[in-house]
Amino acid sequence: MATVKVKFRKSSVEGKAGTIYYQLCHKQSNRQITTRMRVLPHWWDAEKETFIAEADNNGLSARYQQQIEKDLLCIRRILCEWDGEGRDYTLADVIDRFRTLNENGDTVLSCLATLIDELKNDGRWGNARNLQRALNSFSDFLGGLDRPLKQVDERLVMEYEQWLRIRKVSKNSSSFYMRTLRSAYNKVISRNQMEQTFPFRNVYTGVERTRKRAVPEDIMVRLQKLDLTHSAPLAFSRDMFIFSYCTRGMAFVDIAYLKKEDVSGGILSYVRHKTGQCLTVRIEPLIEEIIERYEPFVHNSPYLFPIITSNDPEEAFRQYQTALGYHNRKLKKLGKLTGENLHLSSYTARHSWATVARKHNVPLSVISAGMGHTSEKTTLIYLDSVENSLIDKANEEILEALCRNVSK
């Protein structure tokens, strides 16, 4: 009779999640069934072929253990049935039968939920949040009723896009859901070795350019001169906004995760959370002044600013998200205090730096490198409104000249 064991294959990258697989042995032949279950090394007891009870796996190991028991039961039933019949079979026959019986077992919402758990366990909190948002939207469309992966076809996806349109979801938000779900879907069917049917090929997955709001240099000066001694939270948001501007539009997530060890020899070095790109910024006097201002608040913390306090990765990410929302609310108040009723956000500082740099005739390639863009096309999206303003100014001067000539 054939035997089946549960095995763990380590990742080629040290410390990363490995893969659970089933090893089948029969007539001196060995075959493997690779599962989509990804497990961190310290979760797995290789001797007992089971999970170690851990508090840091978000209940994922319990669901995986249930799946393993279900799979083993299915394989053993196949073996018992065929052995009882005296059937001459190969391990390839067993694997084919197992996959046929489990073909409709994987459902789209459960697979997405599993991917979200895996992203969290890999510390990819932003990706997990994005997939959770897409899952929530798609689940609402399905009425909360799960469906087999095989039913995710072109027609269903186009119906989902129409459902979003009827609910007046913006084109960019709809595209965000489609891109996120497409990536997750492709990963799942690749793991499960299912046929690729490209269900997302006829829905919109592009990005429409939206008008960016940059603020001129005089607003930055006005913000710095505001007397905010009455409100420490407003002062902190103002300082983080100015810090972002001074560091070539550093994203708030990167500011939140800055550590004291990132400062050395008058240089600030960090890795962009969005792209993984390493960037360095020379610490100019205004940057140094802001850092020193908050040194007393982070005396016992490894972080540069008092935004994140937890050592737990998931809690740290939640603290960043909460701080970002609070920061943007304070920036709205600051926009009104300038006297211009400006709609400031954490993103405004990044776009403003690009805008001002362009007006100072800084080459596009330099702006792109300074912002950590991998393509100048991305930088052009930031500068779209800048180019239009220059054209409008030129047109204004041309029309003024025309009017002067007419009045003569």
CA angle, 258 then 183 then 319, to 5°: 30
149 close to 107: Cβ distance less than 8 angstroms: yes
405 pLDDT more than 60 = no
Residue-level pLDDT at 329: 95
Per DSSP, 52 falls in state P
Beta strands in 50-175 (DSSP E): 50-51
CA dist 224 to 329, 338, 390, 395, Å? 18, 10, 27, 33
385 close to 212: Cβ distance less than 8 angstroms: yes
pLDDT digits (tens, 9 = 90+) for 343-358: 899 989 988 888 888 7
Q: From CA 327, how far away is CA 332, in angstroms rounded? A: 9
Residue of higher predicted confidence among 106 and 88:
88
Residue-level pLDDT at 174: 95
- Both structure tokens of 276: 């993984």
19 close to 35: Cβ distance less than 8 angstroms: yes
Mean pLDDT of the chain: 85
Mean pLDDT of 118-130: 84
Mean pLDDT of 88-92: 89
Share of the chain above pLDDT 70, in %: 88
Mean pLDDT of 326-347: 91
What φ, ψ does residue 18 adopt, rounded to 5°? -100, -170
99 pLDDT more than 60 = yes
299 close to 292: Cβ distance less than 8 angstroms: no
Concatenate the DSSP letters of all residues of 163-225 into one string: HHHHTT--HHHHHHHHHHHHHHHHHHHHHTTPPP--TTTTS-------------HHHHHHHHH
List the chain domain ranges.
Answer: 3-101, 113-191, 217-393
Share of the chain above pLDDT 90, in %: 41
CATH code of the domain made up of 113-191: 1.10.150
The closest of 245, 257, 327 to 286, measured between CA atoms, is 245
Residue-level pLDDT at 96: 84
Please count the other Cβ atoms lying within 10 Å of the Cβ belonging to residue 239: 19
375 pLDDT more than 70 = no
Same CATH fold assignment for domains 113-191 and 217-393: no
Q: Which helix (H) or strand (E) holds 20?
A: strand 18-26
Highest mean pLDDT among 9-18, 210-219, 245-254, 335-344: 245-254
Residue-level pLDDT at 163: 96
199 pLDDT more than 70 = yes
CATH superfamily of this structure's domain 217-393: Intergrase catalytic core (1.10.443.10)
